[in-house]
Amino acid sequence: MINLSNLKPAEGSNKQNTRVGRGQGSGGGGTAKRGHKGAKSRSGYSQKRGFEGGQMPLQRRVPKFGFKNPNKVVHKAINLDTLQSLADAGVKAVDLGVLYNTGFIQKSDTVKVLGRGELTSSLEVKVNAFSKSAVEAIEKAGGSAVVDASFSPETSEGLKLDSKASSSRKEVAMETKKEKKSTPKAATTSVKEEKATSKVEAVPAKEKAAPKKKASKGGDDLKKIEGIGPKIAELLVDAGIGTFAKLSETSADDIANILAEAGSRYASHNPTTWPEQAGLAAAGKWDELNELQDRLKGGRPE
């Protein structure tokens, strides 16, 4: 029976500390079992909490983590200029499904409409949240702002827009500047296009590959056609296609043959929409051309 009179530690649990020597005569050698020079060999040493011998301690190696609010909701920002770009494309009502199908949001995003930009079209907007300035702008334009978190992309599957339609105020301003610059040029070059077209048609087939400088006189800037760069524009001019009107009359197969003859680096281009774009440019329909190019991707139909 255990009681206070016979209570003792378990056998082997207590060990006697090694007595540090007090000189060479103690049997501990010249250092008296304290080792060679260092903090632990000297009196007054006390190990600090967390000290690891001079290396970076654990509490500094582990990164700090602050408080994370589990109830915080992070919204995807959609601005008024983006809504205006959708309205210009013919959209009358904007909801989460429309924004998803046009590439502005992901399925898991919660959307908040903010007040950057200008909205002039009447739209029915249904998203998760609105800023005060956005609600005022939407209602001022004759539309409505409704808080609705329902997601149904099936109702707008036919609507396909490129994400570059205008997601920022700068891009919208750049597009309007390009339209203003290109419209007067088209008006002034319409007479030159007719003359250049008649000249090109009168040239025999063998003489179509005229020098670049001669073929480019009175011609159009073919680089305005999406998918045509400086090199391809030179190839077309060399082939006698130096105007929008001539390009619109050339079939896509003939253009593809011209690119294939120039080498494999050009054969990968798809000229399917080039005649259609050139026809709009030749007729001076720049607004329709810009709408068509917004639906293209590098000159190719989606």
Q: What does the alpha-carbon distance between residue 106 and residue 102 come to, in Å, rounded to a whole number?
A: 10
Tokens of 85: 């770009």
CA distances from residue 251 to 139, 246, 278, 279 in whole angstroms, order as listed: 48, 10, 11, 12
Give the mean model confidence (pLDDT) for residues 113-141: 93
Give the mean model confidence (pLDDT) for residues 282-301: 79
Q: What is the pLDDT of residue 231?
A: 84
Planar angle of CA 42, 44, 50, nearest 5 degrees: 100
Query: Has residue 84 got a pLDDT over 60?
Result: yes
Q: What does the alpha-carbon distance between residue 103 and residue 165 come to, in Å, rounded to a whole number?
A: 10
- Residue 237, SS3 per DSSP: helix
Sheet of 144-147, strands arranged across: 93-95, 124-127, 144-147
Give the mean model confidence (pLDDT) for residues 46-71: 88
8 Å CB contact between 244 and 193: yes
Give the mean model confidence (pLDDT) for residues 77-105: 91
Confidence band of 275 (pLDDT split at 50, 70, 90) = confident
The least confident of 213-227, 233-247, 262-276, 285-299 is 213-227
Ramachandran angles phi, psi of 124, nearest 5°: -100, 110
- Percent of the chain at pLDDT exceeding 70: 77
pTM flag (> 0.85): no
Alpha helices in the chain (DSSP H): 58-61, 80-88, 96-101, 132-140, 169-188, 190-202, 212-216, 230-238, 244-249, 252-262, 264-267, 274-282, 286-294
Q: What does the alpha-carbon distance between residue 291 and residue 43 come to, in Å, rounded to a whole number?
A: 86
Q: What is the pLDDT of residue 127?
A: 94
Q: What is the pLDDT of residue 174?
A: 56
- Residue 102, SS3 per DSSP: coil
Give the mean model confidence (pLDDT) for residues 215-228: 72
Q: What is the mean pLDDT of the chain?
A: 78
Q: Which residue spans of the chain are classified as CATH 3.100.10.10?
A: 75-167
The least confident of 58-62, 149-153, 154-158, 192-196 is 192-196
8 Å CB contact between 289 and 281: yes
CATH number of 75-167: 3.100.10.10
Give the mean model confidence (pLDDT) for residues 30-44: 83
Q: What is the pLDDT of residue 66?
A: 84
- Transcribe 256-287 into DSSP letters: HHHHHHH-HHHHT---TTHHHHHHHHHTT-HH
Confidence band of 125 (pLDDT split at 50, 70, 90) = very high
Q: What is the pLDDT of residue 110?
A: 92
Confidence band of 204 (pLDDT split at 50, 70, 90) = very low
Q: What is the pLDDT of residue 191?
A: 46
Query: Has residue 30 got a pLDDT over 70?
Result: yes
